[in-house]
């Protein structure tokens, strides 16, 4: 007899995690480690004079793309990377989910780079203050 899926059986089913293969490549891991070594504090928090440790040994930090990859952002250029804590990263991801996209320019190899990282950091801090 077939089983019917309802909201109760789905609730207890094991969650399947989808992992973007880009984030598991050795090149990205090396670039991420380099970014978090170069800037071990959350860049958005630094603008508020808060020092949030995001170094590689700390699980709090994320090396994030300013112009996200879905929008054609450069995957490896340091101009398109910054370090964020989980809170600030969640705020930025929420903004992107609601349609926010930073002003951008095209790079030599036809990817997008942000015109200014500071504009994005200011937008994150505005949203942080409104919470």
Domain assignment of residue 18, yes or no: no
Mean pLDDT, range 38-50, rounded to an integer: 94
Over residues 28-36, the mean pLDDT reads: 94
Specify if 96 maps to a domain. yes
pLDDT of residue 5: 55
Per-residue pLDDT of 89-105, as tens digits, reads 999 999 999 999 999 99
Tokens of 17: 């995690």
What are the structure tokens assigned to 83, written together?
């370090």
- The 8-class DSSP code of residue 79 comes to G
Q: Is residue 88 part of a domain?
A: yes
Question: What mean pLDDT is reported for the chain?
Answer: 86
Q: Is the pLDDT of residue 52 over 70?
A: yes
Query: How confident is the model over 62-95, as pLDDT tens digits?
Result: 999 999 999 999 999 999 999 999 999 999 999 9
Our count of domains for the chain comes to 1
- Segments forming the whole domain that contains residue 37: 26-130
Longest Cα–Cα distance of the chain, Å, equals 62
């Amino acid at each position: 007899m077939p089983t019917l899926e309802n909201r109760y059986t789905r609730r207890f089913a094991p969650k399947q995690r989808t992992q973007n293969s880009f984030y598991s490549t050795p090149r990205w891991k090396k670039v991420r480690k380099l970014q978090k070594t170069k800037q071990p504090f959350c860049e958005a928090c630094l603008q508020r004079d808060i020092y949030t440790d995001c170094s590689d040994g700390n699980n709090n930090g994320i090396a994030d793309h300013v112009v996200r990859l879905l929008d054609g952002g450069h995957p490896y250029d340091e101009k398109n990377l910054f370090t964020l804590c989980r809170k600030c990263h969640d705020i930025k991801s929420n903004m992107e989910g609601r349609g926010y996209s930073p002003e951008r320019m095209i790079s030599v190899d036809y990817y997008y780079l942000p015109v200014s990282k500071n504009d994005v950091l200011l937008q994150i801090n505005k949203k942080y203050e409104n919470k």
